[in-house]
Amino acid sequence: MCKNFKIALCQTMVKDDKVYNLKKALEFIEEAAVNGANIISLGEMFICPYRNDVFKEYAEEEEGSITLKAIAEIAKKYNVYIVAGSIPEKDGDKYYNTAYVIGKDGNIITKHRKMHLFDIDIKDGVYMKESDTFSYGQNITMFDTEYCKVGVAICYDMRFPEIFRIMVQNDVKLVIVPAAFNNVTGPAHWDIIIRNRSVDNQIYFAAASPARNYDETYLAYGHSSVCNPFGEIIGQLDENEDILYCDIDLNYLEKVRTELPLLKHRRLDIYGINTKK
């Protein structure tokens, strides 16, 4: 029997002030938990401006991380799962853009290190070269809950459909993606990608962004969204600070998969041959 549940996406305003950013994230998590959310996600780099010149300064090692300690305490207090957006993680002399997943007991369940680094240069648009700071994550990340299996990716990862199909082959029914698209790629691609990943894989897809901060050079798109397995966006914020709540209905997911059984109609025999060529 499927257990339905509520997800909350916390779209916080991120400033150049770690103490402020963490306090704001904790306030939003508390509000979401009090309002009945079972799984709560923060946005990409919820603790740190999305800028290469500050990533290392804001980075924390897993052991002794102030941010993770505070998130773990609040997860335990309110008995909720938290996808801790992402933070810059330091591991030896390497840095990663990492989303930690904290369980209801306050322990780290898993972590996702961004697999595809955002290196783009859109003329008169937006420039970013994450690989100047970060190393590449090497794993596709999934975790079990009493509701369903959940996949985690970070922002630019969502442009690579292969990882979501692998997640679905592993029985993932909800994907959570902390993300920070921008004022150029957001209006052009955000909704299309979210809807595509959902409709192709017949999953719920939740993307959690920071709010837009006009004092920053990188203008986050905001628009945290949840899309259902039929490809319909069932909740979306604008660019301002807010919390998005959506019910995840796994019976509905099964209904969509029964009525339009495209996952069963895959020609794995043929794709397999093609892959080997």
Catalytic residues: 44, 114, 155
Contact residue for ligand LQR7VSFR among 185, 196, 224, 225 (CB under 6 A): 185
Asked if 179 and 157 count as a contact pair (C-beta separation under 8 A), the reply is no
Contact residue for ligand LQR7VSFR among 29, 68, 84, 180 (CB under 6 A): 180
Contact residue for ligand LQR7VSFR among 6, 51, 76, 159 (CB under 6 A): 159
Give the span between the Cα atoms of 184 and 178, in whole angstroms.
18
Asked if 66 and 110 count as a contact pair (C-beta separation under 8 A), the reply is no
Give the span between the Cα atoms of 66 and 202, in whole angstroms.
37
Q: Report H helices in the chain.
A: 18-34, 52-58, 66-78, 161-169, 185-201, 250-259, 268-276
x/- site string to ligand LQR7VSFR, residues 227 to 256, per CB under 6 A?
A: ------------------------------
Contact residue for ligand LQR7VSFR among 41, 86, 133, 182 (CB under 6 A): 182
The reply to whether 181 sits near ligand LQR7VSFR by the rule CB under 6 A is: yes
DSSP 8-state secondary structure symbol assigned to residue 60? B
Sheet with 172-178: list strands edge to edge: 141-144, 149-152, 172-178, 204-208, 225-227, 233-236
Residue 32 token pair = 């979401």
Binding part of the chain for ligand LQR7VSFR, among 73-81, 174-182, 203-211, 258-266 by CB under 6 A, reads 174-182
Q: Which helix (H) or strand (E) holds 97?
A: strand 94-102
If you search the block for the tokens 């660019």, which residue do you land on?
A: 239
The smaller minimum CB distance to ligand LQR7VSFR, of residues 118 and 164, is found at 118
Contact residue for ligand LQR7VSFR among 33, 39, 155, 237 (CB under 6 A): 155
Give the span between the Cα atoms of 90 and 61, in whole angstroms.
5
The residue count for binding ligand LQR7VSFR (CB under 6 A) is 8
Binding part of the chain for ligand LQR7VSFR, among 20-28, 138-146, 151-159, 264-272 by CB under 6 A, reads 151-159
The smaller minimum CB distance to ligand LQR7VSFR, of residues 5 and 156, is found at 156
Give the span between the Cα atoms of 25 and 41, in whole angstroms.
10
Contact residue for ligand LQR7VSFR among 28, 118, 147, 204 (CB under 6 A): 118
Q: Min. distance of Cβ 12 from ligand LQR7VSFR in angstroms?
A: 16
The smaller minimum CB distance to ligand LQR7VSFR, of residues 81 and 134, is found at 134
DSSP 8-state secondary structure symbol assigned to residue 273? H
Chain residues that interact with ligand LQR7VSFR, rule: CB under 6 A: 118, 155-156, 159, 180-182, 185
